[in-house]
Structure 1
Amino acid sequence: MNKPLSAGLCLLLLCPIGAMAAGPFDGTWKVDMSKVQMPKKPDVLVLKDGVYECKTCVPPVSVKADGQDHPVTGHPYFDAMAVQVVDAHTVKETDKKGGKVVATSTTTVAADGKTARFEFSDSSNSNGAPVTGSGELKQVAAGPAGSHAISGSWLTASMDQMSDNATQITFKEEGDMFSMSAPTGQSYQAKMDGSDAPYKGDPGINGVTVKKTGKNTIVETDKRDGKVVIVLTSTVSADGKTMNVVMDDKLRNRTMHFVAEKQ
């Protein structure tokens, strides 16, 4: 037996078994967009008399729809918004923070007013390339008389396009520590006993707790200045190939479900 191989085997035999065993969450996971269950509560928008309102935003937004920048407060990801009425069925929104564009979206309502298509580019919580995507909205209640076609209560019916940096995440278990990293720059390292730890790389989240509630289940609680904003419950399947996630948005009182596959 050659010396390097002998030394390597000695080190291997000296390692504790627990240190060699990979946890069920270890590795990179990718969301299967075909299995995403969107929230069942609608977003309520009104564009009338030259004013755009997002009534279900937290906090609510109300700005002139004149294509110019207008300040908004209470939102960690942007501090100004411009809403441009392109035509009777299309609206473009541009969000800025500190004078820099952080997100754009264009929504076009179908001729019958019952569905709408949207596409967006969002770098408000990305430290690299922006997240991009598109999808379809379904109207469940019409807007007030005389309002723009975008007005009404809308459910996100589907997300048929999402960039990879928005759908991938990497986890690692080491002893009693659990770590997360994402292509958009978010990361944390926390004990799995529910104690507070810093959350890095996201303007809207600065704290996190992680609690292992079962062999294959983790509950992650994201916080902003001590206030809970999101709770994610993730459970890895017995074969280790898929992860079911329930995301409870505490700020907007909405819940969504998705499935991620081990890469």
Structure 2
Amino acid sequence: MKKLLIGGMLLALLLPCHAMAQSAFDGTWKIDINKVQASNKPEVITLKDGEYSCNCTPPIHVKADGMDHAVTGHPTMDTVSVKIVDDHTITETGKKNGKVVYTDTTKVADDGKTATFESTNERDDNSATVKGTLTRVGKAAAGSHAVAGSWHASSFQSASDNMLSYTYKVAGNDVSMSNPRGESYKARLDGKPVPYTGDPGTDKIAVKMVGKSMQETTSLAGKVTSVATMTVSADGKSMTTVITNKPSNRKITLVAMKQ
């Protein structure tokens, strides 16, 4: 009887400790597309006299003739084509080694104040599409195409399911992540870079705790590409992630719900 009593006491003590040790980040999360907030830093497009440019990082400047034109400094693509569909619509296509990696279609409203966009990313038969709305925050030069000017991504209407969810597993100082697009990593929470698989724009990731937040720093060929800081709400039901893309310093904020 005494042994049973002692055993029961130990079990009662150990169970709360185990519950307390479980990480708030552990589990599957799904992004609420309606709560996505894009950077206030505008995208600036020029399109006049058959010449297209944007303040991308690095900048892109090509002829808008629907033909593939070489670009440099972009690790996931080596050519870009821009096609003028009509007075209010353009399509942009990026390729790597002749294979399409993304397609963007932008259509400006008749009043010129807003535009809709649909962007599709292609990755080994695992495509993902996001749709949203742009709001004009700056005018273009006279005689420009309607898509020219400064724009802010003001809202997002939809995204493919495979873009919205991801799963973390945390055990002590070990953390792993996987998502439906085939991306994954296994790391220690020590800030040391480890391999990242499944994303052609990322080959390393370093993970560490910063206070109560978890911070991921991604890189490609030794250059930092993004810094993401994730914070779980007090009730454990939601996680807010602020991603700063490098070197543009454009930020995007995501709110994901625990599944």
TM above 0.5, yes or no, is yes
Partner of 1:231: 227
Letter in 2 for 1:240: G
User: Is 2:77 the counterpart of 1:81?
Assistant: no
3-state secondary structure, aligned to 1:86: strand
Q: Point out the more displaced range, 147-156 or 191-200.
A: 191-200
TM-fit CA distance, 1:45: 0.5
TM-fit CA distance, 1:206: 1.2
Question: Could you tell me which of 219, 237, 254 is aligned with 1:241?
Answer: 237
RMSD over aligned Cα atoms: 2.1
Q: How does 1:167-206 map to 2 (within 5 A)?
A: 167-206=164-203
- In 2, the alpha carbon distance for the partners of 1:146 and 1:219 equals 46
- In 1, the alpha carbon distance for the partners of 2:213 and 2:60 equals 37
TM-fit CA distance, 1:213: 2.3
User: Is 2:141 the counterpart of 1:161?
Assistant: no
TM-fit CA distance, 1:127: 4.4
TM-fit CA distance, 1:22: 3.5
- Runs of 4+ in structure 1 off by over 4 angstroms are 15-21
- In 1, the alpha carbon distance for the partners of 2:113 and 2:159 equals 23
Q: How does 1:104-119 map to 2 (within 5 A)?
A: 104-119=103-118
User: Is 2:113 the counterpart of 1:140?
Assistant: no
Do the aligned partners of 1:19 and 1:174 also contact (CA within 8 Å) in 2? no
Q: Deviations over 1:123-152 (max 9, x none)?
A: 1xx444211121110111111111111100
Letter in 2 for 1:88: D
Do the aligned partners of 1:19 and 1:175 also contact (CA within 8 Å) in 2? no
Partner of 2:3: none
- In 1, the alpha carbon distance for the partners of 2:140 and 2:185 equals 42
TM-fit CA distance, 1:21: 5.4
- In 2, the alpha carbon distance for the partners of 1:127 and 1:134 equals 21
Letter in 2 for 1:245: T
TM-fit CA distance, 1:20: 10
Letter in 2 for 1:76: P
Q: Deviations over 1:20-52 (max 9, x none)?
A: 953211111011111112110100111111111
- In 1, the alpha carbon distance for the partners of 2:50 and 2:59 equals 17
Q: Deviations over 1:223-242 (max 9, x none)?
A: 12222221111011222111
User: Is 2:211 the counterpart of 1:211?
Assistant: no
3-state secondary structure, aligned to 2:86: coil
Letter in 1 for 2:83: Q
TM-fit CA distance, 1:171: 0.6
Letter in 2 for 1:86: V
The number of aligned residues is 247
Where in structure 2 are there 5+ consecutive unaligned residues?
Answer: 1-10
Q: Point out the more displaced range, 19-28 or 250-259.
A: 19-28
Q: How does 1:112-131 map to 2 (within 5 A)?
A: 112-123=111-122, 126-131=123-128
3-state secondary structure, aligned to 2:37: coil
Q: Deviations over 1:160-182 (max 9, x none)?
A: 11111111111111231111112
- In 1, the alpha carbon distance for the partners of 2:208 and 2:239 equals 16
Do the aligned partners of 1:52 and 1:64 also contact (CA within 8 Å) in 2? yes
Partner of 2:4: none
Where in structure 1 are there 5+ consecutive unaligned residues?
Answer: 1-11
- In 1, the alpha carbon distance for the partners of 2:130 and 2:191 equals 34
Cα 1:167–1:69 change in 2 (3 A) is same
Do the aligned partners of 1:127 and 1:185 also contact (CA within 8 Å) in 2? no
Partner of 1:46: 46
3-state secondary structure, aligned to 1:202: coil
User: Is 2:35 the counterpart of 1:35?
Assistant: yes
Q: Deviations over 1:175-228 (max 9, x none)?
A: 3111111211211111101112111121211111111123x4201111122222
- In 2, the alpha carbon distance for the partners of 1:79 and 1:183 equals 26
Do the aligned partners of 1:104 and 1:120 also contact (CA within 8 Å) in 2? yes
